[in-house]
Structure 1
């Protein structure tokens, strides 16, 4: 790999720190020289490895490894429970293994029949019947049954689960004969079919531990092994749906670190790479086709709204006015992001600009703090998740907050440590966190996306502790009216008011929305599409054979 990528990324980080002394500048220079030297050494090593591999495991054309799709995944997790996980890695991997009744093509959010044979049969405004695909079997050879659908719905709606607010409109799910399922709703729901994509169907006999470790499904692939380092799949020869696997094996290497993913892609060891960092575009463009799309994916500032002074919405607003999001986009994201103008992105059908749009305005931030009665310094720890693109935002945010009298210590940790140890406790004492989030893996409808961060779930009962506040009640009153609306225009009007409330309350809110870039090794795929959410959707891609 080119040392320019590594040194440029490091320089950008160093430049975001407070004004350095002459000695500090000299130290930075020495660090950059050492990094360049180390990178050159790495290039030699990787080059030798790549050359040696050409005669053995790597094919001269097509996929890097014969009859195998090799991918670099940007997120890590060991929670693969298809009925409860929110992990970007697990959600994406499960698309290939555990089918819902109806599934999304994530390149455009169109839907196709997965385990369902046909469209839902509407009996009334609140009752539907869905027929299962003929002869559908799990990868272990057992039949998919209506009872499995019922069990999967029950698991997905377990009290306290993250999926509950998005499926709460369903009153009951019951078997109907050997091949059909009846859904009865509490009220007419316009996105019924789309929400069924949340219910991934796995055998009723599997318990929580089995589902978390390695679920069985009816999709075109089946899991062979899941470790911290990789996810290994093999073709499910019993699959009889629309999108069969095109080769025998698939391996996803888990590489949270940007540099590791770039190195693997540049040296030709992988066929597809998730989440290409902007500084690597030039490095990878000769070897890979880079495809960029606007995404919902974003860095979020999350507040503990029961912790003073952040229990006051004006203080939370002051934070967003203090942060120069455009500078973050220009410097840390190299322009590959779009400023936040609403909770939703403009590409989504229900988008509307919020009444409050945050731009960098230090004086306004200070005025809001004054109105909130905040005097003197506010000291706290700004926690963040450990993804590279998140941690590189933190130094500038720290500096921006210092301009309004907020002194933040920075502490980064894995999501698996941050949430259970810091935020997901009834007595949580943190003030603010910088986290990555992307509920668009569940769909693009407004009600679903709002329910993810602002519904009755872990995000509001813990994490933000916003549940039951006046703002929460106001938002959900509007969301309920939107669902009960008699026309799309009336529903949109209520949603517009929802975006205004969210932008004013900001218990958790995006700084900007990313553009995501996926790298496809040249010559491997004849058809491929990038997706505007986390993960890799290759189900409808086509290999060159």
Structure 2
């Protein structure tokens, strides 16, 4: 079974293309991208093998590289990881701790209690085409994100608290906030600074979606072959804090698990690092001398209900189906112990985690009682699921659990693009099972919850729940929490409204799991497994 990107629903390309009229229909987006296939293998630029310190680092990424590369739009695991090497924000964040550090800016502001943050750009910073980075580029990037007439994914991370970005002079800018929002400082890594002279041209945003990437980061994009590979070269003009250690990098996209593992293992291994390692292959790779490490975070299997399709408008039915699932068995059998049953929307390692008031421990008798109370019998359910391999491994446990309480269950795993094309086209469905990992964007709970919930949110459009009275109250509570200046009180407010999200179970995680990364320690040092898809090599080097 194929591994496809965890970062569903990839609102980057579908929602953007649909809303801006680039393509007439969602289905056209998928067919258009499918047409951008790579040429025959002999034509693919791998960057050359090199030798010694100049040899090419080869990485295997278990997700597609044919999503949007537009930093304001993308939720693609491959493209986001690549962009972190190509672009810089004013500030960027450590891939593990998520602590902000000065990137294009010269320093992190010391006082975050006010509504004005001022930044000076790094002296001598240039884009990959040799043009200097200026305040105009910073304003250009933020204007796009905040433009009320442009639908971007990044807007949801900034518009609620950031009023505008002003140019002071050629190397200085001011961010004007609507209210004090210290959490926003770590989000600046999501606002990659893009060259105005490149991306203000007609059609340039379409080119960005297709793969055009020009930044000021340590690596420049050398070649891009959708569905095959993307190559990078060290940028000689880079003078920032995280210098490139590899002269060339070749990132292969291999979504099928078996060939991905084969590429990094055995005597013919051609890669030094791979992400998205299947649990069943961990010991095999370790016995071959590779390091394999996991990182637990928000990565989860969630259930999403169509609340306009009866009886899923009834909260008792949604709760019943969650209580029925034997999550301990799912973790043991499908995840080989590399996961935990959800006890909140957030994973247990999140700084804002608190065990929810409603926790769906396996309780089939309670599930049957709730269905009876709701007046539901003889329920037949089709689970529309993405075919990510570990999700498919989990589906039989859901079916067996629901069958055991008298719910006749049919499994329908499909390509991720097929599942979300149906949702974008507003086709009818009952329940969706898919994977998500908001940790790609950060750790702060306000960001995570707004990514999944909100009156105009893409996910809430899928659930058709936004006009519900409970939902409207939830959205108001979320906005109040965003504006709360006291950090401890804000944390409690978020935990309280997550209790509502848990109780309603409209879109809610079943299990959180670990993501595994493998690398050759005889070749690479400085590798840290991250709890979200992709890799970060900005602190790695040859042994």
* TM-score with structure 1 setting the length: 0.84
Which residue in 2 is equivalent to 1:218? 216
1:57 CA drift (Å) = 5.7
The aligned residue for residue 185 of structure 2 is 193
* Alignment-derived partner of residue 57 in structure 2: 69
1:166 maps to 2:154: no
Counterpart secondary structure, 1:224: strand
- The alpha-carbon deviation at position 157 of structure 1 amounts to 3.7
Contact 1:172 1:183 (C-alpha < 8 Å) held by counterparts = yes
- On the 8 A contact 1:379/1:408 being kept in 2, the answer is yes
Contact (CA 8 Å) 1:165, 1:456: kept in 2 or not?
no
Aligned-pair distance for 1:316? 1.4
Query: Any conservation in 2 of the 1:174–1:183 contact (CA below 8 Å)?
Result: yes
Give the drift of 1:460. 3.5
Q: Which residue of 2 aligns with 1:233?
A: 232
Q: 1:306 to 1:162 in 2, by over 3 A?
A: farther
Q: Distance between the aligned counterparts of 1:124 and 1:520, measured in 2?
A: 42
The CA deviation at 1:155 is: 2.7
Where 2:284 maps in the other structure, the secondary structure is: helix
Distance change >3 Å, CA 477–CA 456, structure 1 → 2: closer
- Which runs of no fewer than 5 residues in structure 1 stay unpaired? 1-5, 7-55
Contact in 2 for aligned 1:272/1:521 (Cα 8 Å): yes
Distance 2:271 2:190 in 1: 30
Partner of 1:177: 169
State the SS of the aligned residue for 2:397.
Answer: helix
Equivalent residues in 2 for 1:8-23, closer than 5 Å: none
Deviation at 1:465, TM superposition (A): 2.1
C-alpha separation in 2, matches of 1:151 and 1:281: 45
- TM-score, with structure 2 as normaliser: 0.85
- In structure 2, the residue matched to 1:52 is none
Partner of 1:110: 99
Alignment check: 8 A CA contact 1:256 1:388 kept: no
Q: Structure 1 residues 402 and 236, CA, compared in 2 at 3 Å: closer, same or farther?
A: same
Report how far residue 73 of structure 1 moved.
Answer: 0.6
- Cα deviation code 1:41-61 (max 9, x no counterpart): xxxxxxxxxxxxxxx9697xx
Aligned equivalent of 2:273: 272
Larger radius of gyration: 1
Helix, strand or coil for the counterpart of 1:400?
Answer: helix
Distance 1:148 1:275 in 2: 35
Shift of 1:441: 1.1
For 2:469 and 2:307, locate their aligned partners in 1 and report how far apart those are by CA, in whole Å. Answer: 12
Question: What is the deviation of 1:335?
Answer: 0.1
Q: Which moved more, 1:179-188 or 1:410-419?
A: 410-419
- Which residue does the alignment assign to 1:411? 412
- Residues 57 and 145 of structure 1: CA distance in aligned 2, closer, same or farther (over 3 Å): closer
Instruction: Name 1:354's counterpart in structure 2.
Output: 356
Count of residue pairs brought into register by the alignment: 484
Moved more, 151-160 or 208-217: 151-160
Deviations 1:160-184 (A, max 9, x none): 4333232121111121110112111
- Please tell me the root mean square deviation across aligned C-alpha atoms, in Å: 2.2
Whether contact under 8 Å (1:106, 1:533) holds in the other structure is: no
Measure the CA separation in 1 of the matches of 2:339 and 2:234: 36
Q: Distance in 1 between matches of 2:456 and 2:249?
A: 34
Q: 1:433 to 1:304 in 2, by over 3 A?
A: same
Q: Return the offset for 1:150.
A: 2.0
Contact map agreement 2:112 2:181 (CA 8 A) in 1: no
CA shift for structure 1 position 489 = 2.1
Alignment of 1:78 onto 2:67? yes
Q: Give the distance between the partners of 2:387 and 2:338, measured in 1 at CA.
A: 20
